[in-house]
Amino acid sequence: MTTNHELFARARQLMPGGVNSPVRAFKSVGGEPFFTARADGAWLWDVEGKRYIDYVGSWGPMIVGHNHPAVREAVERAVRDGLSFGTPCPAEITMAETIVTLVPSVDSVRMVNSGTEATMSAIRVARGATGRSKIVKFEGCYHGHGDSFLVKAGSGALTFGVPTSPGVPKAAADLTLTLPYNDLDAARALFAEHGKDIAGLIIEPVAGNMNCIPPDDGYLQALRTLCTEHGALLIFDEVMTGFRVALGGAQAHYGITPDLTCFGKIIGGGMPVGAYGGRRELMEQVAPAGPIYQAGTLSGNPVAMAAGLAMLRLIQAPGFHDDLTARTERLTDGIAAAATKRGIPFSVNRVGAMFGLFFTNQTVRSYAQATAADVAAFNRFFHGMLEHGVYLAPSAFEAGFVSSAHSDAVLDETIAAADAVFARL
Ligand code: PMP
C-alpha cells in the first residue's frame, strides 16, 4: 500500500512544498497532508483507505456533496461531445443566463478559469472604466494571488501598501490601499483623503479567509454609499459566498448592489472556473465589445459549464439554502455546546452554510480579533478531529463549508468527535 507519508516525500521532490496550492501542505497546522484517492457525498477517502467527513468541500464548490450523480452525469454527457472547442458553445449562454437570473446586479458576465482571474480582471475593469489607478482592499481578505492583492497595510500610514510576497513590485503595491475590515471610520478617512484616485473597493462581503467574519450591520451598505459618493466601483468578491450564503450570494443576503461581482470555483461544480460580471455599461467595456482587454483560451469550457450548470440547477431547489443553513446551525451549535460543556473558550461565526470556529470567548468581528484567538488550540483541535475522521480546513484562518450531503447523522458524528477532542484539549 502507498502511504500518505510516502506520497508526500515523493511530492516534495517534484513540486514546491509537495503541493500545487500552499494551504494543502498543512504548514499552518503542522504535520503532513493526506492524499485523497476519492470523494463521495460528505466524505473523502485517503490513499490508505481512511475516511474523513469533509468540511472543506474543495474549498467551497462541493455544495451538493462530492461526486453528486447529477453533476457527474452532466460531465459524462458533455465529455462525449469533446473536451474543448475554442469556439463559442451553447452551454456558455445557459451559464450566463443562470448567473444573470440568480444575481440581479449582474447584467453581463465573462467566464474565466479561477477566482484569481476573476478578481484580477474585475479590478482591470474598475481601473479601465474609471480612469483611476488605486484599489482598496481589506486586511485579512484574500482575492487570489494577483500582484495587487498580495499587499498589506504599510506601517503607521493609510497610504501605501507593502508587498506580502517577494516578486510583487513595490510600484504595484503602492496602488493598493488596505483597510481594517468592519471599521467604517477608517474607510471614511481613507476615502476622504484618496477618494478621487480610487478605482474600486474590493471586499469579501463575508470574510472567509481570516476564518469566517460577517460584516457588521449596515457596514456593506455604508461602503456602497462611500463608493457611490466618490465615484469608485464596489466590487464584491463572492468566490466563497456566491450561491452559498444565499442563492443570490451575499449581495442578496444583505440587500446590497455591487457594481462588479467575482465568482469562482462554486460555479464550476468542482471544475476550474471563475467569472466576473456586473452592470451592462461596465461589462460592455470589456473586449471585444470594448477596449479593456481580458481573454482565456479555455474560458467557458464545455465540460466545466456542464458541471457548473448541473450544480446550479440542484441548488435552485426550493428550500435548498434554508436547509443548508439549518444544517450549519446544527453543526456549529453542537460543537459550541460541547466546548462550553468542557469549559473551553470558544465562539462561532456563521452565515448561511459558511462557518468559523474560534478558540476565544469573544465574538470575532475583526482581523485583529481573529489573529488574537488561540491558534495553537485550533491546531490541536484540527489534528484531534482528523484522528477522529473529520477534516476541517487545515488553517485557523479559513472558513468551513457544509454541503447538502452532510446528513444529520454525519453532523452528529462530527459533534461527538468534537466533544471527544475537547475532552482531551
Ligand atoms: N477570492 C476568494 C474570496 C477566495 O476565497 C479565493 C480562493 N480561496 C480566491 C479569490 C482565489 O480563487 P482561486 O484560488 O480559484 O484563484
Position in ligand 1 atom list of the atom nearest CA 264? 15
For residue 155, pLDDT beyond 70: no
Same domain, residue pair 104 and 216: yes
Residue 135: its pLDDT value, please?
Answer: 98
Residue 147: which CATH number? 3.40.640.10
Compute the distance between CA of residue 315 and CA of residue 324 in angstroms, rounded to an integer.
10
Compute the distance between CA of residue 161 and CA of residue 171 in angstroms, rounded to an integer.
10
The partner residues of 163 in beta bridges, in order of sequence, read: 151
Q: Does the annotation mark 237 as catalytic?
A: yes
Q: Model confidence at 137, in pLDDT bands (50, 70, 90)?
A: very high
Q: Does the annotation mark 81 as catalytic?
A: no
Same domain, residue pair 261 and 337: no
What's the chain's Rg over C-alpha atoms?
21
Name every residue whose Cβ is closer than 8 Å to that of residue 142 and which is 6 or more positions away in sequence: 149, 204, 209
Which of 113, 123, 143, 181 has most ligand 1 atoms within 8 Å of CB, for mutation? 143
For residue 159, pLDDT beyond 70: no
SS (H, E, C) 366-401: CHHHHHHCCHHHHHHHHHHHHHCCEECCCCCCCCEE
Residue 154: its pLDDT value, please?
Answer: 75
Whether 121 lines ligand 1, by a CB cut-off of 6 Å, is no
Same domain, residue pair 179 and 306: yes
Same domain, residue pair 206 and 97: yes
Grid-cell match 476622504, residue found: 192
Around Cβ 31, how many Cβ atoms within 10 Å? Answer: 14
Q: How many domains does the chain fold into?
A: 2
Q: What is the pLDDT of residues 161-175, one digit of tens each?
A: 889 999 999 999 999
Q: What is the pLDDT of residues 260-314, one digit of tens each?
A: 999 999 999 999 999 999 999 999 999 999 999 999 999 999 999 999 999 999 9
Compute the distance between CA of residue 207 and CA of residue 377 in angstroms, rounded to an integer.
22
Task: Give the SS3 label for residue 356.
Answer: strand
- Annotated active-site residue in 52, 55, 142, 219: 142
Q: Which of 160-174, 222-236, 365-379 has the lowest mean pLDDT?
A: 160-174
Same domain, residue pair 285 and 403: no
Asked which of 265, 298, 314 is the last residue of a domain, the reply is: 314
List the beta strands (DSSP E) in 252-353.
260-263, 274-278, 347-351
Same domain, residue pair 302 and 328: no
Residue 126: its pLDDT value, please?
Answer: 98
Around Cβ 229, how many Cβ atoms within 10 Å? Answer: 10
Grid-cell match 480612469, residue found: 131
Same domain, residue pair 159 and 291: yes
Q: Where are the alpha helices (DSSP H) in 201-299?
A: 219-230, 249-254, 280-283
Compute the distance between CA of residue 337 and CA of residue 409 in angstroms, rounded to an integer.
17
For residue 157, pLDDT beyond 60: no
Domain of residue 50, residue span:
4-63+318-424
Same domain, residue pair 287 and 324: no
Position in ligand 1 atom list of the atom nearest CA 21? 14
Same domain, residue pair 243 and 104: yes
Asked which of 260, 286, 314 is the last residue of a domain, the reply is: 314
Q: Does the annotation mark 265 as catalytic?
A: yes
Same domain, residue pair 113 and 253: yes
Asked which of 260, 290, 314 is the last residue of a domain, the reply is: 314
State if pTM tops 0.90: yes
Q: What is the pLDDT of residues 69-102, one digit of tens each?
A: 999 999 999 999 999 999 999 999 999 999 999 9
- Annotated active-site residue in 134, 183, 259, 265: 265
Compute the distance between CA of residue 21 and CA of residue 39 in angstroms, rounded to an integer.
19
Residue 394: which CATH number? 3.90.1150.10
Q: Tell me what percent of the residues of the chain surpass a pLDDT of 90.
A: 97
Same domain, residue pair 85 and 129: yes
